A = this chain, B = another copy of it.
Amino acid sequence: MADDLRVALWRNGEVQLAAADEPVVTAFDQGLARGDGVFESVDVIGGGTPYLDAHLARLARSAALLELADPGAAVWRALVDALVEKWPDDVEGACRLYLTRGLGEGVPPTVLAVLSPVSAEVLRQRAEGIAVVSLQLGVPADLRAHAPWLLGGAKTLSYAVNMAALRHAHAQGADDVVFTSLEGGLLEGPTSTVVWAAGGALRTPPLETGILAGTTMGRLFARAADAGWPTEVVPGTVADLHAADAVWLVSGVRGAATVHTLDGVRRGDAGLSARVRELLDR
């Protein structure tokens, strides 16, 4: 494995570094056996993690939804600090934080973090935009808010369906996916938030649909509002995306990826992507 991959564990009350090809999780870990855990993906730029706070806040919420013991921000910061130390300023990185149920109830959770360079494919998609297909997730938009066992709003390790949806898109020559509710309402991407520009505003679907609270969407919307660009949290449909001035899938590492093709139909961005990027990067 490449030597630019880094791993840090929280064990016995301290940070321990590990080689990327060193096994760090046992066969009985519930994160492995049951996808029973939560995670975050954090962008590393200029040798730092300027947006870590928002990710740690969401990780704490995800952990609470799964009734997992979050070790707290100080522990996560110690892991991230150990990973980014001497990381080159000019190499963008993806830092992933993992919290699993470990060996089960009553014992410490598994707490670890990894750091790797952002892949060339992610950089390409950020630069060139993405082709997206819409796929049915099968749940009604209003169900997950009232069915906590479905873990709406939690960023869990159980991403097999998210990965299968991406494979399904790739098999159709697309890069990514927009999940829709049973009624055809917009939800989110498998690893991103859906944002579109219409009616002079930036729009994104409501959290009550069970989607994740996008940290990067949150930063974009706060800065857009400050800059006089109205923002709206509203239900939408795939038809709304086709009719929009621009559509992006927004996430922590890839940033705002411009959707240039939706369900096989080419579409433009009305020149708005530059403004979105400027807001995200300022």
A32/B25 in contact, CB under 8 A? yes
Question: Is A244 engaged at the interface, CB distance under 8 Å to the other chain?
Answer: no
Question: Is A1 a contact partner of B28 (Cβ separation < 8 A)?
Answer: yes
Report if A23-B23 is in contact (Cβ < 8 Å); known contacts: A136-B147, A156-B160.
Answer: yes
Size class of the A contact interface (CB-based, 8 Å): 35 or more
Q: Give the complex CA separation of A101 and B35 in angstroms.
A: 13
Question: Which of the 9-residue segments A163-171, A230-238, A253-261 touches chain B?
Answer: A163-171
CB within 8 Å for A35 and B182 given contacts A21-B26, A24-B27: no
A7 at the interface (CB under 8 A from B): yes
Beta-carbon contact of B138 and A151 below 8 Å: no
Choose among B26, B31, B34, B150 the residue that contacts A22 (Cβ–Cβ < 8 A): B26
> Using Cβ atoms and an 8 Å threshold, which residues of chain B touch A229?
none
Whether B164 contacts A66 by the Cβ 8 Å rule is yes
- The residue on B at minimum CB distance from A139 is B138
Chain A, 1-56, CB within 8 A of any chain B CB: 1, 5, 7, 18, 20-37, 39
State whether A35 touches B136 (Cβ < 8 A): no
A76 at the interface (CB under 8 A from B): no
Closest B residue by C-beta to A147? B136
Copies in the complex: 2
User: Would A25 and B28 count as touching, CB distance under 8 A?
Assistant: no
Interface presence of A67 (CB below 8 A): yes
Query: How many angstroms between the C-alpha atoms of A133 and B246 in the bound complex?
Result: 45
Task: Name the residue in A24, A149, A167 with the highest tally of chain B Cβ atoms < 10 Å from its Cβ.
Answer: A149
Within 8 Å by CB of A157, from B101, B149, B151, B160, lies B160
Does A143 reach chain B (CB closer than 8 Å)?
yes
Contact A20 B28 (CB under 8 A): yes
A47 to nearest B CB, angstroms? Answer: 21
Known contacts A24-B23, A26-B21, A28-B1: does B139 contact A36 (CB below 8 Å)?
no
Q: Are B34 and A162 in contact (CB-based, < 8 A)?
A: yes
**Chain B residues positioned under 8 Å from A163 (CB to CB):** 30, 34, 36, 101
Q: How far is the CA of A1 from the CA of B143 in the complex (A)?
A: 41
What B residues does A21 contact at CB under 8 A?
26
Once bound together, how far apart are the Cα atoms of A70 and B153, in whole Å?
Answer: 33
Question: A245 to B198, alpha carbons, bound, how many Å?
Answer: 58
A98 at the interface (CB under 8 A from B): yes
Establish whether residues A161 and B151, one from each chain, have CB atoms under 8 Å apart when the complex forms: yes
Chain B residues within 8 Å of A139, by CB? 138-139
Given A27-B20, A160-B158, also A32-B148 (CB < 8 A) = no
Q: A148-B164, A164-B151 given as contacts; is B136 within 8 A of A28 (CB)?
A: no
By a CB distance below 8 angstroms, the chain B residues around A28 are 1, 5, 7, 20, 114, 116
